[in-house]
Structure 1
Amino acid sequence: MTVATAAPAASALRPRGRDRAVDLVRAACILGVVVLHAMMVGVAVPDGAPSFVNASDGTWWIVPLSWVLQVMPLFFVIGGFSAATAYRRSRERGSDAIAFVAGRVHRLLRPAIVTIGVVGLLLAVLATAGVPADLVSLAGFRFSQPLWFLGVFLVCQALVPALLRCHERAPLLTIGLLAAAAAGIDAARLVSGVDALGFLNLAFVWLALQQLGFFLADGRIDALSRRTRVIAAVGAVAGLAASFVSGIHSPDLVANINPPTTALLLVGVAHTALFTLLREPIARFADRRAVSSFTDFVTPRAMTVYLWHMPVLLSLAGVTAVWGLSTGLPLPAIGGPAWWLTRPAWLALALAATAAVAITAARIEAAAPPAPTGSPRRVTLAVLAGTSAVALLLVVGTTVATAAIAVALLAGALRIASLPVPARVGVGQRIGGSFVDGVQVPAPVAP
């Protein structure tokens, strides 16, 4: 039996409801991102002036921590699994690719437009209050850094219909070409010494990992023998170790994300193999009441938590600096014993504050999307506008001006991804298409 023919039998056994193991892993990935970024927050007040630094720079502990908390490869695999499952179900209901992509645009960009708008206003308040311009600029820069995920994930999800068709026709060839392209970019960057070439892998690395999620959705990976999956996991880890020793990749897996490297592909393979090997115990664990409550809280708020955790961390860092300056009490030296002793309390505060903000802000993410456009051109423009907004903030940084421009681009993306609002006409008047209760219903848009 070939891998291709084994897939239907395996996927036929897969329940059509939500996969609790997948939901738990997705929620755990979001938690891992928040914890990792919270650990990087360093605040000091040397000579009576606030200083905000990356606490992990030049430290030994970021390497083992990155091995545990570098979860973005697995997140993209899970994203591919969920997107393939959702798109196939929408096709069964008679929906099309344009509606699917338009829905993804709204799901991702609606919470983003609010977060970016609020951050822009807060930066304006800080500048007006007399906060030094370099600190305001640093806050905007730190907020922008995690937004790479929003832009890349939007593009990856927009390509799901096309790449899923390629997967269904030639699964191994499609993922092989993406992985080979990622490896080629890595090789070109190493040989030329031009690190900027690596940013081409913002496409190939993450698309290859999403494509791996399609195999997971098919049941193809679960259909492999346990021995094969163990060999895949061990081989991926061995490949990572060899790349560290040879100097191809940094042992700090966080460093391998900017720009993305093929080390992330190996991480994704290892995590995916381990997930399928442990899927049944993970599913049983997910059914426990406390674990289920955690999953149910994060799942509908995943994008909201991701978007808001950095503003929350920046706000907590600012409050810490103000407290140190106003009381005159010394803050724990970054990386020192007192600093480590305070990390559990700091992490608990960061998680609680992020959850509190998410409870309120998630109403936007949970709102039902408007009717999607039926125009391929409009949905393409929506994706381009959304990606451009994120790229602007990443390249220039978040300022009051760039936040305003980004909000305008995101608003435009959301508008053109929706079905145009019909114009009101008088009763009995006909302009085109049909009309109901005096409201024109536009004629169908040709693909």
Structure 2
Amino acid sequence: MALVTAPATPSSSAHDGAALRDPGIDLVRALCVVGVVLLHAIMVGVTVEDGAPVFENASVGTWWIVPVSWLLQVMPLFFVIAGFSGLLSYRRHRVRGGSDTAFVAARVHRLLRPALYAVGIVGAALTVLVLCGIPADFVVTAGFRYGQPLWFLAVFLACQALLPTLARMHEDAPLLSIGALSTLAVTVDILRALTGNDGLGFLNLAFVWIALQQLGFFLADGTIDALARRTRGVLALSATTALFLACAFGIFSPDLIANINPPTTALLLVGLAHTSVLSLYRSRVIGFSRRPLVARITAFITPRTMTMYLWHMPVLLTMAGLTAAFALQSGQSLPALSSVDWWMQRPLWLVTTLALTALAALLLARWESGVPAPSTSGAAVTGAVLLGVGGTLGLLILGTSPLTAAFAVGLYVLALRLAVRRSPARPEGYARPRALSASPTSSA
């Protein structure tokens, strides 16, 4: 996600980006990343049955996933923040005379460079497992679990590639643009319910997430903050009430995680409620974000957002594998999923997940950094986006294996090459950065 910046003025420069950051939005983004990691961590279940490890989703068929999902379903807010920061970054980019193509090319690099390393290393690790004689079903399960969260990479890359066009739509007809997207999302849900064809729901991979990004535009331009506090409170309460009633009457699953695959308009209600509350308490959030310890944690996560997202699942899979191996070697039993003993172990499990994910981000982010001069060819950048999305969809549809990982890495390499300026001449004053952010939170 793009850098959180204040609205640019013609005098803004690339050197004053730090001064234009919104610390409150940075903090909320960091909390969203932590929320995603915690949610996935609590869903990883590992047991040993008949002398063999069993890996499964610990939340399936449980009562506790409903309240947990209402607490930790932060993906809608993630996209709202992406719209907020992306719009402001794009406007600053235009003030500096940058083109839409250059803006999108920079986004391609900030998203696909971390993905190139993550998918490449995971593919190599799966290859090692195969060569070591690890059972094929174990390797397939590991690859499947790793690939599940990668939907975010494909969808987010597409949303960011469309941001310049969507920004102009917002400038020309803000209410019409978000209204049309929301209407299309609702229509997809209705058609899905009437026909019983769940495949139709995947159309909302576009409509729901783009609408949420568009909602972030309203936060960025001050429209939401300009509303009376009572109005924003009513919006938050109305969205929450509508969501509760829709779940109670069976329109949506009360498990908000289930509403993400495929996406439903329940996520729009979540995003509206979260955005309204954020706007209501934004000044307090900013004040809290400036406390020294909070600011240090936020400063650590912000430039490593994408790296943490891409690496938290390999960390979890490694932890699960080591736990099973230890149990098999020592002869100790593992607690049944959702049992009292299992819950007693969750705090240590969650803290370890966060610590190891942070360590992975610290070690790997520097190798994923660096954004060269972007391409000036619109066709080349469009091709780069399509290759990046296609490579990721391949991992999602076919599963992550040594072969599909190698194929995706090849497409990512081609995409990154397409998104680099072919001319040997560099812009005046250009210097290759040593360690730019590896996350899509960086500005163009």
Q: TM-score, normalised by structure 2?
A: 0.91
Q: Distance between the aligned counterparts of 1:354 and 1:135, measured in 2?
A: 22
Count of residues in correspondence between the two structures: 409
Equivalent position of 1:377 in the other structure: 379
Structure showing greater relative contact order (alpha-carbon pairs closer than 8 Å, 6 or more residues apart): 2
User: CA offsets per residue over residues 126-177 of structure 1, 9 Å max, x none?
Assistant: 1111111001000000000000000000000000000100100000000000
SS of the equivalent of 2:372 reads coil
Q: Distance between the aligned counterparts of 1:220 and 1:382, measured in 2?
A: 34
Equivalent position of 1:236 in the other structure: 239
The answer on whether the counterparts of 1:373 and 1:419 sit within 8 Å (CA) in structure 2 is yes
Letter in 2 for 1:246: F
Equivalent position of 1:414 in the other structure: 416
The answer on whether the counterparts of 1:229 and 1:277 sit within 8 Å (CA) in structure 2 is yes
The answer on whether the counterparts of 1:110 and 1:364 sit within 8 Å (CA) in structure 2 is no
Shift of 1:245: 1.7
SS of the equivalent of 1:372 reads coil
Equivalent position of 1:141 in the other structure: 144
SS of the equivalent of 1:52 reads strand
Shift of 1:16: 6.6
Letter in 2 for 1:271: H
Shift of 1:290: 1.1
State yes or no: 1:122 paired with 2:125: yes
Q: Distance between the aligned counterparts of 1:40 and 1:246, measured in 2?
A: 26
Letter in 1 for 2:240: V
Q: Distance between the aligned counterparts of 1:32 and 1:44, measured in 2?
A: 24
SS of the equivalent of 1:254 reads coil
Equivalent position of 2:95 in the other structure: 92
Shift of 1:388: 0.2
User: CA offsets per residue over residues 67-101 of structure 1, 9 Å max, x none?
Assistant: 01000000000000010010000100110100000
Shift of 1:368: 2.8
- Worse-matched range after superposition: 333-342 or 146-155: 333-342
Letter in 2 for 1:61: W
Larger Rg: 1
Alignment of 1:36-435 (within 5 A): 36-365=39-368, 367-420=369-422, 422=424
Q: TM-score, normalised by structure 1?
A: 0.90
Letter in 2 for 1:396: L
SS of the equivalent of 1:50 reads strand
What runs of 5+ residues in structure 1 fail to find an aligned partner?
Answer: 1-7, 9-14, 424-447
Equivalent position of 2:13 in the other structure: none
Q: Distance between the aligned counterparts of 2:203 and 2:125, measured in 1?
A: 33
SS of the equivalent of 2:123 reads helix
User: CA offsets per residue over residues 236-291 of structure 1, 9 Å max, x none?
Assistant: 01110121122110000000000000000000000000000010111111011111
Q: Distance between the aligned counterparts of 2:312 and 2:241, measured in 1?
A: 34
Q: Distance between the aligned counterparts of 2:79 and 2:149, measured in 1?
A: 15
The percent identity for this pair of structures is 59
Q: Distance between the aligned counterparts of 1:177 and 1:139, measured in 2?
A: 39
Shift of 1:333: 1.4
State yes or no: 1:30 paired with 2:47: no
Q: Distance between the aligned counterparts of 2:244 and 2:50, measured in 1?
A: 43
The answer on whether the counterparts of 1:23 and 1:299 sit within 8 Å (CA) in structure 2 is yes
Q: Distance between the aligned counterparts of 2:336 and 2:398, measured in 1?
A: 32
SS of the equivalent of 2:263 reads coil
Shift of 1:421: 5.3
Q: Distance between the aligned counterparts of 1:246 and 1:329, measured in 2?
A: 45
Letter in 2 for 1:241: F
The answer on whether the counterparts of 1:386 and 1:413 sit within 8 Å (CA) in structure 2 is yes
Letter in 2 for 1:142: R
Partner residue of 2:24 out of 2, 21, 28: 21
SS of the equivalent of 1:418 reads coil
Shift of 1:48: 0.6
Q: Distance between the aligned counterparts of 1:18 and 1:36, measured in 2?
A: 28
RMSD of aligned residue pairs (Cα, Å): 1.1
Letter in 1 for 2:392: V
Letter in 1 for 2:413: A
Letter in 1 for 2:205: L
